[in-house]
Amino acid sequence: MTATLDRVDVPRTAPARGRSRARARHRLTVLAFLAPAAIGFALFFGYPLIATVVFSFTRYDLINPPEWIGLENYAYMFGDKLFLTAVTNTLWFVVVLTFARVVFALGVASVIARLKSGVGLVRTLCYLPSLAPPVAATLVFFLVMRPNDGPLDVVLGWFGIQSPLWFADPAWSKAGITAVMLWVSGDLMIIILAAVLDVPQEQYEAAELDGAGPLRRWWHITLPSISPVLMFGVVNSIILALQLFTQAVVAGSAASGAADLTGNTKYLGFPENSTLTFPVWLYTQGFRYFDMGYAAAMATVLFVISFIATAFLVQRMRRASHQEEGGPGA
Amino acid sequence: MRKVPRAVLLCVAAAVSLSACAAGAGKSDQPGGLGAAPGKDDKFTLTVWSNYSAREQEEVTKALETFKKKYPNAEIKHEGSQDDDKITASIRGGNPPDVAMSFTTDNIGQFCSSGSFQDLKPYIDRDKVDLNQITDAVRSYTEYKGNRCAMPLLSDIYGLYYNKELLAAAGITTPPKTTAELLDFAKRTTKKAADGSIEVAGFLPNMLFYANRPPIWAPNFGAKWEGPDGKSSLATPEWAEMLKFQKELVDFYGFDNLERFRAGLGQEYSTDHAFHQQKIAMMIDGEYRTAFLKDQAPNVKFGTAPFPTVRPDLYGTGFTTGTIMGVPKGAKNPGAAWELIKHLSFDTPTVVSLANGIKNIPSTKAALADPGLEVDENFKTFIDLAKSTKLQGNPVTPIGDAHIKLIGDFATSWQSGKVSDLMGGLKEVDKQIDDQIAKSGK
């Protein structure tokens, strides 16, 4: 037998009208409370976003009125070799940096979580670099990793190892920047640490009674428990990689001996465009070549890619979270 | 009920997008106008933005203060460390300085063609200013396609620096005059350790390091940027000659060996600069290096000379660029701003005093000949170059430094051995430059 519910039109009675008015009032109240945030969102997110999309169909030199050119900017991308270079470089960071950052932060957090003493000190020391300004952090790494007389090169030399040229070598420059980014990933480490510490101890104790060793406990209890946080770390790292700018500019400038130069004398992308990330090329087109229309088209493409990647991962994250709660997919 | 908010949202979105266009469009409608010159006793304030800092900013401020000899009641606010991004943002915001000074001479094409800097020709005609007072090469990089929107504030000229002791140790008594000699001297002055690593490089050929930039090298190889049709013309024997010279020296050192040596050298304006540390025997650099050497490496015994050329008849040529200054669109007091620019450009005592202060080259013929100009043996090389008619100015395009990046990138790929077809590669660079210019619509 199938139970059905037939809709019955009931004449509106006085209490029903009252409920309707109350609902409208409630809706207005909610809207009033939302208004400041909604207006801010519209002004500082909606407006720039729509303006960027509109500008992407124009030729715009920042000074004169934009001139409508349809899809020309998008068509130009396909023939722009440096656009493809920038996309490739950024994809490299999206894959390598995202993986390395999450694994590194998880590793450090897992170690700190097991420390018996000095936890506060170690946690602070691991977190502190994330407060360093990106320019300073990159320059520090540049000096530490400088060939011939940098401390890292000297130490490796003691073991008879010749270090790579790091920022000066197109094959290693992105790895050098990744090292900087790992050093300043204390913020993610703290978030993961909080999640690790939040895993109920009873689960560990039960697993221990069942004979599970530390590695199996970590694999079967810790990891599944913190998977939503790890997924957040992945999304966060992807966005970070997609927006990588300062470290790439500083590393390239320092490697070309031009860290102390200003303006256009800096060589963006040095060496051999290996540090030319998508945002760096976007900035170059917009502010150094004065082609804001093309830069806007690039920004639109970046937004769409980021949106799709984030939406996909958030969906995965929700599904994973749902499974963990014993939902239909479990 | 639900349809109404959606319609409202759509209207808001449309209004926002329209206003986005209007936001860009509105800023361009401010009239530049031909400002009247202020009266001698008028009280007015001028804001000047420059990218100078520290000691140089103080010297420029001193030069600006001399304007008060003509206008005693003028007040000048000089703000340093302002780059082109800030200047452009201020123009867009409708609140630019009265006078903007830019280090980025590559942007002159954009400044003039977009109207970021006001056309100065009406002022020049009105005041009957003789532009022939400025040397030809300097004039070339301060205008774009006949639109004079900027004036020079001194200039930089590039020449050869050589370490006298390192050359003497190799039995060389005079600096090289041809690139063939430079190649020979570079090899003879290079010192290698037992393991083959470089200890002293005779001449560092790495492109995009220190002053090794295509526009700086090009004049000495007779290489031009444009053909008669106005298109990019890098696929020429001159450009190929320049790159072959570079590659021959790179191959002499061995690319990997050279890169390892280069990667350990100091930054261009630090005391660790390789020439200061006597790690390179010869280099190309601007006249300003004389002041840096005097200040940071007084023990280095160096000489200067015109940079060697590929052909003897080119000897005495060189590259010049420099700070440019203009009246931004929307400046509050363009008439007084022009008077200040005119003063800084042509008032000989001011130009000479500033040139002495920051060790740059005066950009007027009168100042170059002024006895008050402090000229020692090494600085004289650059003064002589400035007087030469062979000097070549910074290439001017409406695409910022895109053309320089494209050929610079190509040169770095070439030096690392990743390019097999030199002329084919140069043709590709030509195409990329032309495409970028075509995209700009200018």
User: For the purposes of burial, counting CB atoms within 10 Å of the CB of B205, is it exposed (0-12), middle (13-18) or buried (19 or more)?
Assistant: buried
Residues of A in contact with B16 (CB under 8 A): 42, 46-47, 50-51
**Confidence tier at B19 by pLDDT (50, 70, 90):** very low
Q: Is the pLDDT of residue B26 over 50?
A: no
A211 Rama class: left (phi>0) / alpha (psi -120 to 50) / beta: left
For each successive 10 residues of chain A (330 residues), what is the average pLDDT?
A: 49 70 91 94 93 96 92 93 95 96 96 91 94 94 88 91 91 96 96 95 93 92 92 92 94 85 70 95 92 96 89 79 55
Whether A56 has its CB under 8 Å from any CB of chain B: the answer is no
Q: Considering only CA atoms, which of B352, B219, B359, B220 is closest in space to residue B289?
A: B359
List CB contacts of A215: < 8 A, sequence separation 6 or more: none
Which is more confidently placed, A6 or B200? B200
* Strand bridging mode B318-326 / B99-102: antiparallel
**Confidence tier at B161 by pLDDT (50, 70, 90):** very high
Q: Is the pLDDT of residue B49 over 80?
A: yes
Alpha-carbon distance of B83 to B89, in angstroms, equals: 10
Minimum CA–CA partner of B197 in chain A: A148
Mean per-residue pLDDT over chain A, rounded: 89
Overall average pLDDT of the B351-377 stretch: 95
Mean per-residue pLDDT over chain B, rounded: 90
Minimum CA–CA partner of B266 in chain A: A257
Minimal Cβ distance to A165: which of B17, B102, B259: B259
Residues of A in contact with B268 (CB under 8 A): 257-258, 260-261
Alpha-carbon distance of B78 to B60, in angstroms, equals: 9
**Confidence tier at B17 by pLDDT (50, 70, 90):** very low
pLDDT at B6: 47
pLDDT at B15: 41
Minimal Cβ distance to B17: which of A51, A260, A261: A51
Minimal Cβ distance to A147: which of B23, B208, B264: B264
Residues of A in contact with B439 (CB under 8 A): 59, 72, 76, 291, 294
Q: How many angstroms away from the CA of B216 is the closest CA of chain A?
A: 12
Report CB contact under 8 Å: B20, A55. yes
pLDDT at A265: 55
ipTM of the complex in this document: 0.83
Alpha-carbon distance of B166 to B202, in angstroms, equals: 9
pLDDT at B12: 42
Minimum CA–CA partner of A257 in chain B: B267
What's the one-letter identity of residue A305?
I
Alpha-carbon distance of B393 to B155, in angstroms, equals: 10
Cis amide prior to A133 (ω within 30 degrees):
no
pLDDT at B172: 97
**Confidence tier at B20 by pLDDT (50, 70, 90):** very low
pLDDT tens-place string over residues A268-298: 898 999 999 999 999 999 988 889 999 999 9
Name the B residues in 51-70 with CB < 8 Å from any A CB. Answer: 51
pLDDT at A267: 80
Q: Is the pLDDT of residue B2 over 70?
A: no
Widest CA span in chain B: 94
Q: Is the pLDDT of residue B30 over 50?
A: no
Report CB contact under 8 Å: A165, B412. no
Alpha-carbon distance of A219 to B385, in angstroms, equals: 72
Domains of chain B in start order, with CATH, are 33-155+321-381 (3.40.190.10), 157-319+397-440 (3.40.190.10)
Has this prediction a pTM greater than 0.80? yes
Name the B residues in 247-306 with CB < 8 Å from any A CB. Answer: 259-270
Q: Considering only CA atoms, which of B294, B295, B281, B284 is closest in space to residue B320?
A: B284
pLDDT at A264: 52
pLDDT at B210: 92
Q: Is the pLDDT of residue B16 over 70?
A: no
Question: B158 and B319 in contact (C-beta within 8 Å)?
Answer: yes
pLDDT at B4: 40
Minimum CA–CA partner of A74 in chain B: B439
Whether B174 has its CB under 8 Å from any CB of chain A: the answer is no
pLDDT at A262: 58
pLDDT tens-place string over residues B71-128: 999 999 999 989 888 999 999 889 999 999 998 888 999 999 999 999 999 999 999 9
What's the one-letter identity of residue A297?
A
Residues of A in contact with B440 (CB under 8 A): 59, 61, 289-291
Whether A239 has its CB under 8 Å from any CB of chain B: the answer is no
Tokens 């199996």: give the residue.
A216
Whether B199 has its CB under 8 Å from any CB of chain A: the answer is no
In degrees and rounded to multiples of 5, residue B168 shows phi and psi of -65, -40
pLDDT at A315: 84
Report CB contact under 8 Å: A59, B24. no
Report CB contact under 8 Å: A148, B416. no
Name the A residues in 262-291 with CB < 8 Å from any B CB. Answer: 262-265, 267-273, 284, 287-291
